Amino acid sequence: PPPTAALNLSDIEEFAEKVMTATAWAYYRSTADDENTYWENQAAYGRFWFRPRVLRKISRISTATTIVGIPTSLPIYISPSALARLGHPDGEMNMVRAAGEAGITQGISHHASCSTEEIMSVKSLGQNLMYQMYMPKDRKAAKDLIKQAERAGYKALILTVDTAVTGKRELDMRLKQSSTNIAAATGKAAVDGLGIAHSIGFAKDPDVCWDDIPWIRSITRLPLIIKGIQSVEDAEIALDKYRVDAIVLSNHGGRQLDYAPAPLTVLHELHERRPDLLRKHEVYIDGGIRRGTDVLKALCLGARAVGLGRPFLYANGVWGEEGCRRVIEIMREEIETGMRLLGVTSLDQLTPDLIRYVDRDPC
């Protein structure tokens, strides 16, 4: 079917499951243990309902904002995710092209399957990308990585911190692929029977800690975003104590610790306990965002922008660049319609009074 056959992001996921290889589907869809966090990421959005306002002029609206200073036409960005080439031969390049055309930003994963040269060669003029890294065990390698990202022209550094070790991703592990298969599919060295995620996870430093943050700051001027914050306490440490430029509330799309809270729940708690932090700093959120209304709810609670991971991997797997464009188009339509029906014309009007928490099933 053509990309327009997908009316929403769930349609895209259904197509992807049918069309993609078993290896790609298992790697992209897999989550930790019993998938409680994976499902809760989305379910948490169902516990917030709107308090819409009417009779406001809404024909002209703006969905523009900035993410660590990077202008974006929508409050969404493409979350860094590994190995887009498992789904399509052009891999991350398809996402970069679609993001450039739509005027949104993207995090390029440490484990991207396209080279920096390939990515930069399809970037349009004025398009800004962020580089996501895990901390390598060898700090010299870490420094080299950061310097390479600067030289390549990335505009921000995302340090992912929810992955000290790799979560137990059973769908991926169950395929019991040989190291040769995995290496052929991913271009990375692999280990028999461990699955893709574990195979590519070995170079990370499990002892990366808060003391490394000032060190990163000392070697780069790039804005620093910490991705994978899962508690109010760590949000406070990152923003109050280490003054990082921004944080992403994220549990890696449910791929790491099962029973880690939904990022929206953490955002809600942050909003109740430390609203000042949300006013002063940029806080982004990802995990389970599949509707324009999800984006609006996160912004009402104080998030600056949201990231989407799997929807882009799936769309890329089915249609390549066109699919990535379709994800953005669907989100744009849903965000704009949602804003109008909520009675707001710009993102700064998305405030907590437009939303209410419902702790039971309201239907």
Active-site residue numbers? 252
The yes or no reply on residue 81 touching ligand FNR (CB under 6 A) is yes
Q: Which of 105, 250, 293, 316 binds ligand FNR (CB under 6 A)?
A: 250
**Is residue 109 within the footprint of ligand FNR (CB under 6 A)?**
yes
Long-range contacts formed by 259-263: CB under 8 A, 24+ apart = 259/36, 259/37, 260/37, 260/162, 260/230, 261/37, 261/40, 261/230, 262/37, 262/40, 262/41, 262/42, 262/43, 262/44, 262/287, 262/288, 263/41, 263/44, 263/230, 263/287, 263/288
User: Which of these ranges, 14-22, 61-69, 108-116, 173-181, lies near ligand FNR under the rule CB under 6 A?
Assistant: 108-116
Among the candidate windows 186-194, 213-221, 250-258, 269-277, which touches ligand FNR by CB under 6 A?
250-258
CA distance 92 to 131: 13
- 256 near ligand FNR, rule: CB under 6 A: no
- Phi and psi at 68, nearest 5°, equal 35, 50
Residue from 47, 88, 111, 325 binding ligand FNR (CB under 6 A): 111
Contact (CB, 8 A) for 84 and 119: no
Q: Which of 12, 20, 26, 27 binds ligand FNR (CB under 6 A)?
A: 27
**Closest-approach residue to ligand FNR (CB):** 309
100 binds ligand FNR (CB under 6 A): no
| β-pair type (48-50, 355-357) | antiparallel
Q: Which of 23, 132, 199, 316 binds ligand FNR (CB under 6 A)?
A: 132
Is 213 within 8 Å of 202 (Cβ atoms)?
A: no
Interface pick for ligand FNR out of 167, 201, 287, 317 (rule CB under 6 A):
287
- Interacting residues with ligand FNR between 292 and 351 (CB under 6 A): 307-310, 313
Q: Using the rule CB under 6 A, which residue among 82, 208, 216, 224 binds ligand FNR?
A: 82
Q: E strands, the chain, where?
A: 48-50, 65-67, 70-72, 76-78, 106-108, 129-133, 156-160, 224-229, 246-249, 282-286, 305-308, 355-357
186 binds ligand FNR (CB under 6 A): no
> How many residues interact with ligand FNR (rule CB under 6 A)?
26
Site stretch for ligand FNR (CB under 6 A), options 52-60, 230-238, 251-259, 292-300: 251-259
Residue ranges in 4-156 assigned as alpha helix (H): 9-19, 22-29, 36-43, 92-102, 116-122, 139-152
Nearer to ligand FNR, 256 or 354 (CB): 256
Tokens, residue 1 = 């079917």
Residue 103 near residue 97 (C-beta atoms within 8 A): no
Task: Pick the stretch among 94-102, 106-114, 123-131, 148-156 that binds ligand FNR (CB under 6 A).
Answer: 106-114
> Which residue ranges make up the site for ligand FNR (CB under 6 A)?
27-28, 41, 79-82, 109-111, 132, 160, 227, 250, 252-253, 255, 286-289, 307-310, 313
